[in-house]
Amino acid sequence: MAFVGADLEKVKALIRSSLKSDISLLNYTNESILSHPGKMVRPTLAILIARAISGGNETEDTIRFAAASELLHNATLLHDDVADNSSTRRGQPTVMSLLGGRASVLLGDYWLVKAMDNILDSSSFAEEVIRLYAKTLSDLAEGELLQLQKASGGDTTEEDYYRIIYSKTASLFEATAISAAISVGASSSCREKVGEYSRLLGIAFQIKDDIMDYTADASIGKPVGHDLLEQKITLPLLGALKNCPSKDAEIRQKVVCISGHPEGLAEIVNFVKENDGVGYAEARLQEFIDRAVDQISDTPDCQSKDSLIWIAKYMANRKM
């Protein structure tokens, strides 16, 4: 993705300047986070979509909205670390573990406000894009609360699962794509297509994460069974339950009681593997990838379109 590198550097510079403060603790903490920026998937997606639609001519608003997507994403991570009591992220100690939950929530709020500031700096589209991101924030809150509700009851269905991962992950992908399309004056039909591409991509992204909870190893920072320890019933387990319905009630009860009986973790992981839960999830993952690629099939051929297709296909094979 080297050919978008210059624009990604603009996004990073804008994020850094947006977060500047005369409070030294705030600056130091922000710089610590910025030194481990993660994959920058959402800004990359925004730049590629704007270029693919416009023939290669992204705008200043494209950069602003791309920066807003990453600021908002990191704001949610800072809040999630408190909700999940997470001690590490991206291989580094979390703000929550170093400074406490109060500081992490306040810092998340700060990043969120800076995301909104960048949108409000738009030349023409501030109100429209603010509404997009307001919906995303509502989706995120609803998704988190639905997941908490389902975790306590152990009754997550596949329909519940898709709603949760749309709300928590895919909604922001969707808003990122539509705001990028808006930034280059795309038609409503074009916005709809790239929004759907990104929604499907976001769902695929999360399914792959959930597959890795059963297949990854600790060396890449995601130990097997982490989601289960938080009582999350995700697609691989749902697939295994579908393939072996006679064990449904028993396995669900083990998930609900996992905090008191962590020895049940290995049994649940083995159940998923023995009943091809991972294979089931991988098949659904490929369906979402194929549907995402289909959404941009009418986009004129260009390097940015090729990259968007590559990103979708990469979802099936990524290791982190």
117-155 residue pLDDT tens: 999 999 789 999 999 999 999 999 999 999 999 999 999
Enumerate the domain spans of the chain.
2-314
Per-residue model confidence (pLDDT) at position 320: 73
**CATH fold of 2-314:** Farnesyl Diphosphate Synthase (1.10.600)
Amino acid at position 73, single letter: H
Determine the average pLDDT of the residues in 143-171. Answer: 96
Q: Which of 182, 174, 186 is nearest to 61 (CA)?
A: 182
**In this predicted model, what pLDDT tens digit does every residue of 265-286 receive, in sequence order?**
999 999 999 999 999 999 999 9
Cα–Cα distances (Å) from 300 to 1, 174, 306, in that order, read 19, 21, 10
Q: How far is CA 233 from the centre of its chain?
A: 18
Helix (H), strand (E) at residue 29: helix 24-34
What SS3 state is found at 303?
helix
Q: Give CA angle at 205 (214, 82), nearest 5°.
A: 75
Determine the average pLDDT of the residues in 43-54. Answer: 96
**In this predicted model, what pLDDT tens digit does every residue of 57-70 receive, in sequence order?**
899 999 999 999 99
CA 112, CA 104: separation in Å to the nearest integer?
12
CA 216, CA 209: separation in Å to the nearest integer?
9
CA 299, CA 305: separation in Å to the nearest integer?
7
The DSSP output letter for 139 is H
Is residue 30 scored above 80 in pLDDT? yes
Determine the average pLDDT of the residues in 34-38. Answer: 85
Is residue 163 scored above 80 in pLDDT? yes
Q: What is the mean pLDDT of the chain?
A: 93
CA 277, CA 269: separation in Å to the nearest integer?
10
The DSSP output letter for 87 is S
Structure tokens at 111: 């990043």
Per-residue model confidence (pLDDT) at position 1: 63
What SS3 state is found at 155?
coil
CA 45, CA 312: separation in Å to the nearest integer?
11
Query: Is the Cβ–Cβ distance between 278 and 26 less than 8 Å?
Result: no
Per-residue model confidence (pLDDT) at position 178: 98
Per-residue model confidence (pLDDT) at position 123: 78
Residue 88 φ/ψ, nearest 5 degrees: -135, 155
Q: Three-state secondary structure along 77-99?
A: HHHHHHHCCCCEECCEECHHHHH
Percent of the chain with pLDDT over 70: 97
Both ends of the chain: CA-CA distance in Å?
A: 17
Return all residues near 257 (Cβ < 8 A) that are at least 6 apart: 264
Q: Which residues of 50-79 are buried (b: 16+ CB within 10 A; e: fewer)?
A: bbbbbeeebbebbbbbbbbbbbbbbbbbbb
Q: How far is CA 187 from the centre of its chain?
A: 26
**In this predicted model, what pLDDT tens digit does every residue of 75-122 receive, in sequence order?**
999 998 888 788 887 778 889 898 999 999 999 999 999 999 999 999
How many residues appear in the chain? 320
Q: Indicate whether this model's pTM tops 0.75.
A: yes
**In this predicted model, what pLDDT tens digit does every residue of 216-242 receive, in sequence order?**
765 455 567 888 999 999 999 999 999
Dihedral, CA of residue 202, residue 115, residue 33 and residue 60, to nearest 10 = 90
Amino acid at position 141, single letter: A
